[in-house]
Amino acid sequence: MAEIILNVDVRENTGTGGARAVRRSGAVPGTLYGGGKAPVAISVNEKDFRKNLYTGKLLGHLVTLKYGNETQPVIAKDVQFDPVSDRPLHFDLMRVDEKQVIKIEVPVHFINEDKCIAFRQGGSLEIVRHSVEIMVQANHIPEDLIVDLAGHKLGDSIRISDIKLPKGVVPAISDRDFMIASIKTSSAAISAAHDEEEDAAAAAAAAADEVPASEQADDAEGETSEG
């Protein structure tokens, strides 16, 4: 069963005015939809909602909605925040069956950067996708997808096929092996290499200028004699 339980109330007053009244009462307005049923306007105590939200296991995860003696597995699909105070303003829950296969986005995390020699050679990680949309059973949604950078080299492209997906998880995009990230030579490394080449050329030129004229003449004379 889901780790988080949301105790909700059904609200009668909808619209902007109704939502404001809910917030003034110390709750967060929301909408329950999906499952072949009509949408229902609901609300959750703001303190409890924040507590569950900041566990990191609310948004995009299977949770249990509770209304009186009734329960319903749901997926928290979206939360809107005040851009100034960061206070939660509204949320959306989608009805699901625990064993239903759903499409959902999960974050991509990169590990073992310190064990990747490419970064010690001036490489940099260019991330193409910070999240990936997957198909998975609702009660088996993974926390994230892991990319292990250990062993990767400069110029490597990291694709979805390089990620060890949990059992029962498949990418929503199935017609191509899409890119997740790549390891490229950074502009700083290119600049440093260019500077090293220029320094080496300047040093060689300076060394040539330091050869005494007499030695240069002897070399030329030796070449003439041999000829």
User: What is the rounded end-to-end Cα distance, in angstroms, of the chain?
Assistant: 94
- Domain residue limits, the chain: 5-98, 102-188
Q: For residue 132, with 0-12 CB atoms within 10 Å meaning exposed, 13-18 middle and 19 or more buried, which class applies? A: buried
Q: What integer pLDDT is reported at residue 104 of this predicted model?
A: 92
Mean pLDDT of the chain: 85
| Superfamily of domain covering 5-98 | Ribosomal Protein L25; Chain P (2.40.240.10)
What is the rounded distance in angstroms from the CA atom of residue 49 to the CA atom of residue 43? 10
Q: Which sign, positive or negative, has the C-alpha torsion 17, 18, 19, 25?
A: positive
The residue ranges of DSSP E strands in 60-211, in sequence order, are 62-67, 70-81, 88-95, 101-111, 123-127, 131-137, 145-148, 157-159, 170-171, 179-185
- Number of CB atoms found within 10 A of residue 159's CB: 15
Q: How far apart are CA 139 and CA 135, in angstroms?
A: 12
Residue 196: its pLDDT value, please? 55
Question: Distance between alpha carbon 121 and the CA centroid of its chain, in Å?
Answer: 24
Give the up-direction half-sphere exposure of residue 202: CA atoms within 13 A in the CB hemisphere: 6
d(CA 203, CA 14): 78
Amino acid at site 8: V
Q: Hey, which CATH number is domain 102-188, 3.30.70.270, 3.40.50.720, 2.170.120.20, 3.40.50.11540?
A: 2.170.120.20
Distance CA 42, CA 39 (A): 9
Closest to 46 measured CA to CA, from 14, 101, 9: 9
Angle at 162 between CA 159 and CA 165, to 5 degrees: 110
Q: Which residues in the chain land under pLDDT 50?
A: 1, 193, 227
For the chain, how big is the Rg over CA atoms in Å? 31
pLDDT given at position 211: 58
Whole-number Å distance between alpha carbons of 88 and 6:
15
